Each structure stands twice: as structure tokens, then as C-alpha cells.
Chain A
Amino acid sequence: EAQVTQNPRYLITVTGKKLTVTCSQNMNHEYMSWYRQDPGLGLRQIYYSMNVEVTDKGDVPEGYKVSRKEKRNFPLILESPSPNQTSLYFCASSPSSVQETQYFGPGTRLLVL
């Protein structure tokens, strides 16, 4: 089944404790992206990747890192999480660009205490 998976789905952590949210797609897509969803703000793009080893900032990249060492994986790294990063995070992928249909993962709900 074609899908985007994220792990973990739910995470509670404390300020400053490094964490990684994994994202994997099995559709051989080149484009992958991370979003955060906050009430009243919709989805905001954090980082995106056009292909392996090619990443770029979205609109809210501060406090986040990403890497794209393999085509299928695009982990999101919070090196020193803060409470304002409490949010719902979505990973998405599309064949080659954001103009094509994006396929979204189920989301990761993060609470930073």
C-alpha cells in the first residue's frame, strides 16, 4: 500500500531533550516536506526536500533540522525542543514538486513540557 508513515504518533517530552520524528514514504517520491499545524494558523511549512541531499527552508524553520540521506526517509530533528514547538506535525511527499498532489502522513502530536 502506498503510504507515508510517521513515528512516533504521539510524543511527550521536556524542554531541551533532543528528539527525532521519522518520516518514510514507499512511493519513490522525490519531494518531501514537513509541516506543523496549529489552531487558527493552518499548516505552515517547516522544511522541504527536492531530492536526496537537497533540502531548503520553509516558512518556519527555526528550531528544526532535517536530513535527506535516502530518498524514502526525511526525519525531522528538534535538537533542543521548547514549549512553543508543541504542535501537530505532518510529513508529506509528492512525485517531484509541491505543485503535484501531496500525500500526507497521519501526523505526530508533540507536547513539550
Chain B
Amino acid sequence: AQSVTQPDIHITVSEGASLELRCNYSYGATPYLFWYVQSPGQGLQLLLKYFSGDTLVQGIKGFEAEFKRSQSSFNLRKPSVHWSDAAEYFCAVGPGGYNKLIFGAGTRLAVHP
């Protein structure tokens, strides 16, 4: 069965530091891959997505993610974190051909001043 794993439940970084959030998926073919962000008390907002082509994807708010087929990973990165980035981040997989989206358990990011 398809699955998404986000190994880190909580991450704390200092403002200005770099960030990498990990995401691994289990799926037979290349899936559709997404990163969503949920700010406190809000719904989810799409940061970026990957379907095909260039494996380095740029998103909103200065985020990027890299698809690595050999590692079944789609890690999210940001070179310099801002206090407003504190939120919960979800990786999601959309199995091609099916209209279901499978989410990881999420990683909660705290940013220290």
C-alpha cells in the first residue's frame, strides 16, 4: 500500500538557519508529490508540487524541494528560516490515476528568535 513517512515529528531551528524537512514515500511508480503548510488555526496551503521534469522544484515563500527517485524522497528545504515559517508541514502523495491524496503525519516546525 502507498504510504508517506515524515520521520521528524518536531523540529526547532533558529531564525536565519537553514531548514530541511524529510519526506519518504512508498509507491511503485513516480507519484505526484506535494508539500502543504498549515499555520496555527488555519487550513492547508500548497507550498510546491512535483509531477515530472526537473527534480528540483521551487515553491512559494522561498521553499524548494528535491525529488530523489533512488531514495523515494521529496525533502523540503529553505536556506534561511523566518519566524513566520513556524507551522506544521505536510508531505503528500497523489497516486497517479487515482483521485486520492495520502498525507504524512506532519512535521511541526518551531523557530527560535
Interface of A toward B, CB cutoff 8 Å:
4, 31, 33, 35, 40-45, 48, 50, 56, 58-59, 90, 92, 97-99, 101-102, 104-107
Contact = CB atoms under 8 A, between A and B. Distances in A.
Interface stretch (B13-21, B37-45, B68-76, B79-87): B37-45
Contacts, number: 57
B46 to A, nearest CB: 5
Nearest to A106: B43
A50 B46 CA distance: 20
Contacts of B43: 4, 90, 92, 104-107
* Chain A to chain B: the 8 pairs with minimum beta-carbon distance, closest first: A104-B43, A42-B103, A43-B103, A42-B105, A104-B44, A98-B99, A98-B101, A101-B46
Interface residues of B, number: 24
A59 B106 CA distance: 18
Contacts of B27: none
Contacts of B25: none
Q: Which of B4, B43, B106 has the most CB of A within 10 A?
A: B43
B103 A44 contact: yes
Interface in B96-110: 96, 99-106
A41 B101 contact: no
Nearest to A91: B43
Contacts of B9: 40
Contact of B106 (A42, A58, A105): A42
B44 A33 contact: no
B97 to A, nearest CB: 10
B51 A42 contact: no
A50 B99 contact: yes
Contact of B51 (A31, A50, A99, A106): A99
Nearest to A104: B43
Contacts of A104: 43-45
A104 B94 CA distance: 16
A97 B98 CA distance: 9
A40 B105 contact: yes
